[in-house]
Chain A
Amino acid sequence: DAGVIQSPRHEVTEMGQEVTLRCKPISGHDYLFWYRQTMMRGLELLIYFNNNVPIDDSGMPEDRFSAKMPNASFSTLKIQPSEPRDSAVYFCASRLGQGAKYFGPGTRLTVT
């Protein structure tokens, strides 16, 4: 298996623009997680899905953030409009049941 796939790997955008991050989980995994990592706040859970259904989105910073999982093999995290303080590395991870969590390589987002 190719592991968790994220795209793009790097994104540079201007404040106010819409940003869409993409994730393909490991085939067969029933949990998908979106995390954000910054030096100041460490690794924060934003939202997670179980069988494509959002279970807990309490970590989503504000209404500018939204996430979808239209099917078992694809999820998006959208920021609209983006702000400089959204600059971070965004990780997607997937898991089968209560097994180990597998992380993607991350998307480094820079909002200028």
Chain B
Amino acid sequence: SQQGEEDPQALSIQEGENATMNCSYKTSINNLQWYRQNSGRGLVHLILIRSNEREKHSGRLRVTLDTSKKSSSLLITASRAADTASYFCATPPSGNTPLVFGKGTRLSVIA
């Protein structure tokens, strides 16, 4: 069963705009991870936020985590055409168990 559910399923924006994607999950987590997948390629790890963190930054990426609402958001600022990809959130349901992925948000950045 899926743990993470991304919202929206698809997002199309103009280059330079900010893109916000949301993720909701069902059970308690130790951490939440965001991945990017370019068309026809494997997934690339972007950022990990731990359950005791509320916000984390990495370059143009900003991730927030609200454990009370069981939700996370990924913000990409000043988007570029190269950001076009699918973005997945994933959580390890417990301990050292493997990640469970959502179906992803397909982001299209139009130049």
Interface residues of A, Cβ cutoff 8 Å to B? 4, 31, 33, 35, 42-43, 45, 48, 56, 91, 93, 97-98, 100-106, 108
Contacts of A91 in B (CB 8 A): 42-43
Q: Is the CB of B44 within 8 A of A42?
A: no
Interface bracket on B = 20 to 34
A-B contact count (CB 8 A): 46
Residues of B26-72 contacting chain A, CB below 8 A = 33, 35, 40-45, 48
Residue on A with the closest CB to B33?
A100
Contacts of B104 in A (CB 8 A): 42-43
**B2 beta carbon closer than 8 Å to chain A:** yes
Q: Is the CB of A42 within 8 A of B41?
A: no
**Known contacts A42-B2, A100-B33, A100-B48; A106/B42 CB under 8 A:** yes
Contacts of A35 in B (CB 8 A): 101
Interface membership of chain B positions 67-101, coded 1 if the CB is closer than 8 angstroms to chain A and 0 otherwise? 00000000000000000000010001000101111
Q: Is the CB of A43 within 8 A of B45?
A: no
CA–CA, A96 to B61, complex, Å? 24
Q: Is the CB of B100 within 8 A of A45?
A: yes
- Among candidates A4, A45, A56, residue contacting B42 with C-beta atoms closer than 8 Å: A4
Contacts of A106 in B (CB 8 A): 40-42
**Known contacts A42-B2, A42-B104, A43-B88; A103/B98 CB under 8 A:** no
